[in-house]
Chains A and B, each alone.
Chain A
């Protein structure tokens, strides 16, 4: 984020190209129901991953309970559905607010810890949310809840149109990404970044990191809630599995695979994992045997994540061909 402007533009370029590809996908042979629902899932998880990346890469807060905010957003949708309310102008703000309140309450406690303790306490809160949703017998308990219908907007069922839903997810993903990137470059973001790298220095110039971290945590939670509400609509089914800690781990992996240095990395990471999972599970029965090692290799050989791969490849290429290096000089 502190890289020179032209360099950061180049890094943003990869995320931009990905978003453009997602916009073009429905018209390039990925317009069938199966492909669109797969891409919607990737974009929605990408949104949650970007918000987690804001915490991990931006503020240095490694949360292992981020799926809880998604789950709360999704459960807000089904709770309203059970009450016979499916108006988006009510459901979506409520889903976002519920997740934000959860983040505020758990963050107020969690952020008093750091390092491994922060990871464990966010995990503990996530598990609490998981078991609470499992005990909602009116919302299906362990078995989950099937939505009667997707959320309406002013009484119209536009979300049933897969193409509209695709572009809604894409637009919100882009918005979250741009908003988060601006946030990290703002005054607020500078305090977050300084406190991540050297909290003592932040204190020494007069910044107590806690309120800044809490606000960031609530914002990330709100985005998590939004993505959860979208996911409930995408799958039309919600179960406690959505809040399981393995889901939080998966989000964290998307962030790391994509690259923690740039928020756009989380988009690439989410897309890569969702598509890879899908492809491998069709090709092989024991696909996880291949999936696991692939992830290990990517962490070993792409320490800057997918978003840092082009620069890394370029550097390797230059190293391998001195002629070109001379030509550049």
Chain B
């Protein structure tokens, strides 16, 4: 088995008396899609916050690419190659799609304390940004202002930004949230193409998408991982049925 890209060990977080993450340990291997599912309020997004660095865990460690990153802030983890997408789309609305992505390329290519040269004309940044936009199928709308893109296009743009960071791990928090059936289809295709290049930790409510994409699935209930297994193991697991899926989701 290869060394895990991401390794959570005994992660715990309380908000007052409320335990939102309870002794969570899991791994993501290179080239693997590890999905986290669980009912609303199970603590999925809180877990993503702790992995990305926007929230500090009370106990436990987070190792990324062999390094303990538990104490590193969000932007430092991003520079190490931990790219995160948000449940609620987070882009720069006044920038063009291209500039949104070029910002991510810029973050990992040289100093940004350069004050006079027009950045819009930097071909090296723009070329890489265009490539990332093409990967997610947004090549045609590169010069549109991000605010004017459709909801599905914004989700794709956020993926393109993550790709442009040239990350080692993608943390995707409900990338399909609010996408229509056609957009969902397209996004699933994109994610399937990406799996060979990155490790992916996927939080998603759309069960069809999770079963279609995931190599392994962890089920989170009340902040605790009750089971981790392959798609088939999760489908058949009795505790999962009662805790989350319900009878009809398995039909």
Interface residues of A (CB under 8 A from B): 2, 179, 182-183, 185-191, 193-194, 197-198, 200-208, 212, 215
B243 adjacent to chain A (CB < 8 Å): no
Expressed in whole angstroms, the Cα–Cα distance for A134 and B156 within the complex equals 58
> A186-B117, A190-B99 known; A205 and B145 CB under 8 Å?
no
Do the beta carbons of B78 and A187 come within 8 Å of each other?
Answer: no
Stretch at the interface among B38-46, B55-63, B104-112, B216-224: B104-112
Which residues on A sit within 8 Å (CB–CB) of B165?
Answer: 205-206
Counting from the closest, the 3 A-B pairs by CB-CB distance are: A206-B78, A206-B107, A206-B79
Do the beta carbons of B93 and A205 come within 8 Å of each other?
Answer: no
Query: Which residue of chain A has its CB nearest to the CB of B161?
Result: A205
Which residues on A sit within 8 Å (CB–CB) of B114?
Answer: 186-188
Do the beta carbons of B118 and A197 come within 8 Å of each other?
Answer: no
Most chain A C-beta atoms within 10 Å of own C-beta, residue among B79, B84, B103:
B103
Query: Which residue of chain A has its CB nearest to the CB of B108?
Result: A206
Do the beta carbons of A186 and B118 come within 8 Å of each other?
Answer: yes
Query: Which residue of chain A has its CB nearest to the CB of B99?
Result: A2
Expressed in whole angstroms, the Cα–Cα distance for A207 and B165 within the complex equals 12
Interface residues of B (CB under 8 A from A): 52, 73-76, 78-79, 83-84, 86, 90-96, 99-100, 102-104, 106-108, 111-120, 122, 145, 161, 165
Which of B86, B95, B115 touches A194 (beta carbons < 8 Å)? Answer: B95
> A205-B107, A207-B112 known; A187 and B75 CB under 8 Å?
no
Which of A186, A188, A189, A207 touches B107 (beta carbons < 8 Å)? Answer: A207
Q: How many A-B residue pairs have CB under 8 A?
A: 103
Which residues on A sit within 8 Å (CB–CB) of B107?
Answer: 205-207
Which residues on A sit within 8 Å (CB–CB) of B76?
Answer: 206
Do the beta carbons of B119 and A206 come within 8 Å of each other?
Answer: no
Expressed in whole angstroms, the Cα–Cα distance for A202 and B116 within the complex equals 20
Distance in Å: Cβ of B7 to nearest Cβ of chain A: 22
Expressed in whole angstroms, the Cα–Cα distance for A42 and B107 within the complex equals 40
Expressed in whole angstroms, the Cα–Cα distance for A162 and B155 within the complex equals 59
Which of B75, B108, B113, B145 touches A188 (beta carbons < 8 Å)? Answer: B113
Most chain B C-beta atoms within 10 Å of own C-beta, residue among A179, A185, A202, A203:
A203
Beyond known contacts A185-B119, A206-B104: 6 more, CB 8 A cutoff: A2-B99, A188-B115, A198-B91, A201-B91, A203-B78, A206-B76
Which of B52, B94, B115 touches A197 (beta carbons < 8 Å)? Answer: B94
> A2-B145, A190-B103, A201-B91 known; A208 and B75 CB under 8 Å?
yes
Query: Which residue of chain B has its CB nearest to the CB of A191?
Result: B112
Distance in Å: Cβ of A198 to nearest Cβ of chain B: 5
Expressed in whole angstroms, the Cα–Cα distance for A2 and B119 within the complex equals 11
Distance in Å: Cβ of A301 to nearest Cβ of chain B: 23
Query: Which residue of chain A has its CB nearest to the CB of B80?
Result: A206
Distance in Å: Cβ of B155 to nearest Cβ of chain A: 14
Which residues on B sit within 8 Å (CB–CB) of A183?
Answer: 115-116
Expressed in whole angstroms, the Cα–Cα distance for A198 and B146 within the complex equals 12
Which residues on B sit within 8 Å (CB–CB) of A200?
Answer: 86, 90
Do the beta carbons of B95 and A203 come within 8 Å of each other?
Answer: no
Query: Which residue of chain A has its CB nearest to the CB of B109?
Result: A187
Which residues on A sit within 8 Å (CB–CB) of B99?
Answer: 2, 190
Most chain B C-beta atoms within 10 Å of own C-beta, residue among A182, A187, A201:
A187
Distance in Å: Cβ of B144 to nearest Cβ of chain A: 11
Do the beta carbons of B74 and A204 come within 8 Å of each other?
Answer: yes
Do the beta carbons of B119 and A205 come within 8 Å of each other?
Answer: no
Expressed in whole angstroms, the Cα–Cα distance for A2 and B78 within the complex equals 25
Expressed in whole angstroms, the Cα–Cα distance for A212 and B102 within the complex equals 18
Expressed in whole angstroms, the Cα–Cα distance for A207 and B79 within the complex equals 9
Which residues on B sit within 8 Å (CB–CB) of A193?
Answer: 92, 94-95
Do the beta carbons of B103 and A197 come within 8 Å of each other?
Answer: no
Expressed in whole angstroms, the Cα–Cα distance for A227 and B84 within the complex equals 44
Which residues on B sit within 8 Å (CB–CB) of A188?
Answer: 112-115
Do the beta carbons of B119 and A190 come within 8 Å of each other?
Answer: yes
Which residues on A sit within 8 Å (CB–CB) of B115?
Answer: 182-183, 186-189
Expressed in whole angstroms, the Cα–Cα distance for A212 and B112 within the complex equals 9
Query: Which residue of chain A has its CB nearest to the CB of B105?
Result: A205
Which residues on A sit within 8 Å (CB–CB) of B116?
Answer: 179, 182-183, 186
Do the beta carbons of A197 and B92 come within 8 Å of each other?
Answer: yes
